[in-house]
């Protein structure tokens, strides 16, 4: 009889076996294996030795090390020192790559309009913020679906990158299928504006290479010290991909009423694109955890009133293609790590429909008792110490809250401790309280 | 006929609503009457939202329909409409935060419910709220914020209003993704609202004391 292979288990086992990692000591190797095993068990709803702690620290690395957000965004040496200090002193079970660090020169080269960052429209001590606009028009769905790459190159990039505006004048690259089409179709690269834009693109390319080099060499060093990296790949909900970066909240809302079929078709297209991207990235990183941040499907109140999408819209426009992405990841042995903004208490029954022991659900806000009851035998929970508590509360309040969620969400396993979202505004003493308490109280006996 | 527009618009039937408006304008109906019907429809939309029957997309869509109707009606108006306003309301996203989706929905719902909204935009320094208060004499301020950094910006804004000796002249409400009653206490604001209709409700209570 053919043995059914559990791909999730296969990929997690591979991760736990730490292939190719050069450890600085036997202790570091043991620590790495213990940590990955702890996490792999939690994900698969087995009981680990204790509750793992995997923080989404982002700019907290800068805050903890007392350097500015500007410094870490522009200087990879400072970024590396700050991140390393935080990780080695606080010892999480896995660390999140400092993915927003070291990107300053790239953003400058492109003159990115879709973002404001420290020193560029944002205080030096604050993290970047997103600028939502209608970067794609209501009547451009057909063009997007016909040739997404062409749309990105000639429509999207010129709109969101001030320095790539000249690419508007390019011919579609798909026209370059024969030598006689080369002759007239490359001229826009040759104009003074085209040459300048291309030069800026090369600059950005160099910055991108530096960024990748920074993250991979940093991961190598941290792995060697015994700290697993959490960032395997990035995906998302197709609805969000279109709403966040292309149509904007308002535009996407109107499209749901006026051209629902175009929205659905584009979500389908993006499901495939997001999946392909994630699978390709995970092959390179060798880490199965795939980040799936959810934005626009929110039901902000616990009774389900006032949501960013109605229950019906959620089931019609949001969930089907999100589920498709998740199942696609799972089929490839990857673990969707959903970060669920808002309060999803009223949507628990819908998002329950996934295979057992393959996903992580990181709720920003949820009724923990209901969540455990409805999803406890299905997914691993992550979170969710409220940022309000971490930013403004006292360490004892943090410990009390951690006790409650370990007791409820952590019962029997299937739980990873973290804050409710990125912890950039957390007080270091509160983060410390959270870690110490988890390591002490979170032990399974 | 009049009944139709109210119902059709409250049910978010865009094309039908616009068709009715065009027909009524063509046959010389009073444009003021059309605007009044639209306002009545918006009131129903607001009520359905508060009841959990409508959601944020429905608010956004109804706003889009209203905008189009206003544009159709405007050229037919003999003079600018001087509708009676319930009161001035200063609105803004606090310093350091550039998020505005929630703030804009709140501003829109306040507007259709009869408030004169003075929207200061995003990343608004505390001092600017104070200056605008002095200039306009608005009795209500609404502070919006999406990020955790807004906790302190809101607190500082309330403190700046107090420092200017104007705290007893205004009521301050706060709202946004991460805001709750605990943050309300921390900032020293008078109230926190969960959504746009909560803001409208609070503002109405504040200008029409029972």
pLDDT one-digit tens code per residue, A36-75 = 999 999 999 999 999 999 999 999 999 999 999 999 999 9
Question: With bands split at pLDDT 50, 70 and 90, how would you rate the model's confidence at A304?
Answer: low
For residue A124, give the chain B residue with the closest CA: B96
Query: Which residues, 6+ apart, have CB-to-CB distance to A179 below 8 Å?
Result: none
Is the confidence at residue B107, as pLDDT, over 70? yes
Is the confidence at residue A413, as pLDDT, over 70? yes
Cβ–Cβ under 8 Å, residues B107 and B95: no
For domain A7-54+230-441, give its CATH number from 3.40.50.1820, 3.40.50.740, 3.20.20.210, 3.90.1170.50: 3.20.20.210
pLDDT in tens, B164-180: 999 999 999 999 878 88
Cβ–Cβ under 8 Å, residues A430 and A389: yes
Is the confidence at residue B209, as pLDDT, over 80? no
Q: How confident is the model at residue A323, as a pLDDT?
A: 98
Is the confidence at residue A387, as pLDDT, over 60? yes
pTM of the model: 0.93
Residue located via tokens 């939202």: B49
Average pLDDT over residues A124-150: 96
For residue B195, give the chain A residue with the closest CA: A306
Alpha-carbon distance of A331 to B92, in angstroms, equals 46
Cβ–Cβ under 8 Å, residues B197 and B49: yes
Average pLDDT over residues A147-160: 98
Report phi then psi at B99, rounded to 5: -80, 140
Residue B7 has a CB neighbour count (10 Å cut-off) of: 17
Mutate to test the interface with B, among A253, A345, A386 (most CBs of B within 10 A): A253
Per DSSP, chain A holds a count of helices (H) and strands (E) of 21, 9
Check if B49 contacts A (Cβ < 8 Å).
yes
For residue B49, give the chain A residue with the closest CA: A306
Domain definitions of chain A by residue range: 7-54+230-441, 102-224
Q: How confident is the model at residue B195, as a pLDDT?
A: 87
In total, the C-beta contacts within 8 angstroms joining chain A to chain B are: 81
Q: How confident is the model at residue B83, as a pLDDT?
A: 66
Is the confidence at residue B62, as pLDDT, over 90? yes
Task: Give CA separation, A182 vs A166, A243, B107, B139, in Å.
Answer: 19, 35, 53, 66
Residue located via tokens 């301020």: B141
Alpha-carbon distance of A15 to A278, in angstroms, equals 17
Q: How far is CA A122 from the centre of its chain?
A: 22
Average pLDDT of chain B, as a whole number = 91
Average pLDDT of chain A, as a whole number = 96
Is the confidence at residue A273, as pLDDT, over 60? yes
Is the confidence at residue B2, as pLDDT, over 60? no
Task: Give CA separation, B103 vs A130, B87, B110, B133, B137, in Å.
Answer: 16, 18, 11, 18, 21
Alpha-carbon distance of B106 to B87, in angstroms, equals 15
Give A-chain residues touching B52 at CB under 8 angstroms.
303-306
What ipTM score was computed for the predicted complex, to two decimals?
A: 0.91
Cβ–Cβ under 8 Å, residues A40 and A15: yes
Question: With bands split at pLDDT 50, 70 and 90, how would you rate the model's confidence at A24?
Answer: very high
Alpha-carbon distance of A95 to A212, in angstroms, equals 17
Question: With bands split at pLDDT 50, 70 and 90, how would you rate the model's confidence at B82?
Answer: low
Question: With bands split at pLDDT 50, 70 and 90, how would you rate the model's confidence at A107?
Answer: very high
Give B-chain residues touching A306 at CB under 8 angstroms.
49, 52, 55-56, 194-195, 197
Domains of chain B listed by start with CATH number:
2-76 (1.10.1240.10), 87-207 (3.40.50.280)
**Backbone angle region of A357, left / alpha / beta, with phi > 0 → left and psi within -120 to 50 → alpha:** left
Question: With bands split at pLDDT 50, 70 and 90, how would you rate the model's confidence at A306?
Answer: confident
Chain B: nearest CA to A58, how far in angstroms?
14
Is the confidence at residue A301, as pLDDT, over 80? no
Alpha-carbon distance of B66 to A431, in angstroms, equals 48
Average pLDDT over residues B69-83: 78
Cβ–Cβ under 8 Å, residues A64 and A435: no
Average pLDDT over residues B183-199: 92
Q: How confident is the model at residue A314, as a pLDDT?
A: 95
C-alpha angle A273-A279-A282 in degrees, rounded to nearest 5: 135
Give percent of chain A above pLDDT 90.
95
Average pLDDT over residues A268-290: 97
Question: With bands split at pLDDT 50, 70 and 90, how would you rate the model's confidence at B208?
Answer: confident
What are the structure tokens assigned to A416, written together?
A: 């990873």
pLDDT in tens, A331-385: 999 999 999 998 899 999 999 999 999 999 999 999 999 999 999 999 999 999 9
Give A-chain residues touching B151 at CB under 8 angstroms.
388, 391-392, 425
Give percent of chain B above pLDDT 70.
94
Alpha-carbon distance of B103 to A137, in angstroms, equals 23
Give A-chain residues touching B98 at CB under 8 angstroms.
116, 121, 129, 131
Q: How confident is the model at residue A423, as a pLDDT?
A: 85
Q: How confident is the model at residue A221, as a pLDDT?
A: 98
Question: With bands split at pLDDT 50, 70 and 90, how would you rate the model's confidence at B77?
Answer: confident
Is the confidence at residue B79, as pLDDT, over 70? no
Check if B4 contacts A (Cβ < 8 Å).
no
Is the confidence at residue A424, as pLDDT, over 90? no
Higher-scoring residue by pLDDT: B141, A299: B141
Question: With bands split at pLDDT 50, 70 and 90, how would you rate the model's confidence at A5?
Answer: confident
Least confident of A147-151, A393-397, B49-53: B49-53
Average pLDDT over residues B127-151: 94
Q: How far is CA A285 from the centre of its chain?
A: 14
């Amino acid at each position: 009889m053919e043995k059914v292979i559990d791909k999730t288990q296969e990929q997690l086992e591979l991760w736990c076996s730490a292939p190719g990692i050069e450890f600085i000591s036997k202790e570091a190797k043991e620590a790495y294996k213990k940590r990955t095993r702890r996490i792999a068990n939690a994900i698969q709803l087995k009981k680990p030795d204790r509750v793992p702690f995997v923080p989404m620290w982002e700019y907290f690395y800068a805050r903890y090390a007392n350097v500015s957000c500007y410094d870490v965004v522009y200087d990879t040496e400072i970024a590396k020192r700050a991140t390393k200090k935080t990780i080695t002193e606080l010892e999480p079970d896995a660390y999140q790559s400092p993915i927003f660090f070291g990107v300053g020169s790239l953003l400058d080269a492109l003159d990115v309009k879709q973002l404001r960052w420290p020193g560029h429209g944002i205080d030096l001590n604050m993290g970047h913020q997103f600028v939502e606009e209608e970067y794609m028009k209501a009547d451009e769905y057909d063009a997007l679906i016909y040739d997404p790459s062409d749309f990105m190159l000639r429509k999207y990039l010129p709109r969101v990158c001030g320095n790539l505006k000249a690419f508007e004048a390019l011919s579609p690259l798909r026209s370059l299928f024969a030598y006689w089409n080369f002759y007239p179709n490359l001229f826009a690269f040759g104009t003074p504006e085209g040459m300048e834009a291309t030069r800026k693109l090369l600059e950005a390319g160099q910055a991108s290479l530096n960024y990748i080099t920074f993250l991979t060499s940093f991961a190598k060093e941290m792995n060697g010290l015994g700290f697993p990296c959490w960032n395997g790949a990035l995906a998302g909900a197709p609805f969000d991909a279109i709403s966040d970066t292309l149509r904007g909240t308002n535009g996407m809302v109107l499209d749901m009423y006026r051209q629902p079929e175009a929205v659905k078709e584009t979500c389908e297209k993006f499901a495939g694109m997001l999946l392909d991207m994630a699978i390709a990235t995970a092959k390179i990183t060798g880490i199965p955890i795939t980040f799936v941040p959810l934005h626009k499907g929110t039901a902000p109140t616990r009774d389900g009133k006032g949501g960013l999408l109605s229950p019906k819209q959620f089931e019609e426009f949001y969930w089907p293609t999100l589920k498709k992405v998740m199942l696609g990841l799972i089929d490839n042995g990857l673990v969707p790590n959903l970060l669920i903004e808002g309060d999803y208490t009223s949507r628990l029954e819908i998002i329950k429909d996934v295979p057992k022991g393959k996903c992580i659900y990181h709720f920003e806000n949820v009724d923990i008792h209901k969540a455990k009851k409805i999803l406890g035998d299905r997914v691993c929970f992550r979170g969710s110490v409220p940022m309000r508590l971490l930013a403004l509360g006292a360490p004892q309040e943090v410990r009390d809250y951690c006790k409650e969620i370990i007791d409820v969400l952590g019962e029997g396993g299937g739980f990873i401790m973290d804050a409710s979202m990125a912890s950039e505004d957390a007080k270091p003493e509160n983060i410390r309280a959270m870690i110490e308490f988890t390591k002490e109280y979170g032990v399974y006996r | 006929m009049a009944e139709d527009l109210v119902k059709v618009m409250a049910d978010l039937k865009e094309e039908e609503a616009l068709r009715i408006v065009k027909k009524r304008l063509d046959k010389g109906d009073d444009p003021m009457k059309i605007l009044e019907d639209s306002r009545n429809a918006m009131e129903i939309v607001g009520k359905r939202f508060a009841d959990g029957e409508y959601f944020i997309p429905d608010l956004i869509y109804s706003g889009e329909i209203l905008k189009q109707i206003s544009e159709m009606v405007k050229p037919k108006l003999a003079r600018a409409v001087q509708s009676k306003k319930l009161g001035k309301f200063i609105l803004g996203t606090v310093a350091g935060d550039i998020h505005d989706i929630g703030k804009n929905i709140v501003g829109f719902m306040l507007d259709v419910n009869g408030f004169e909204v003075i929207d200061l935009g995003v990343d608004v320094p505390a001092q600017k709220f104070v200056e605008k208060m002095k200039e306009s004499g608005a009795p209500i301020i609404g502070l919006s914020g999406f990020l955790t950094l807004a906790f302190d910006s809101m607190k500082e804004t309330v403190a700046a209003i107090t420092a200017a000796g104007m705290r007893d002249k205004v009521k301050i409400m706060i709202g946004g993704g991460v805001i709750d009653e605990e943050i309300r206490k921390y900032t020293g604001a008078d109230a926190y609202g969960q959504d746009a209709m909560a803001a409208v409700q609070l503002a109405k209570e504040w200008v029409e004391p029972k």
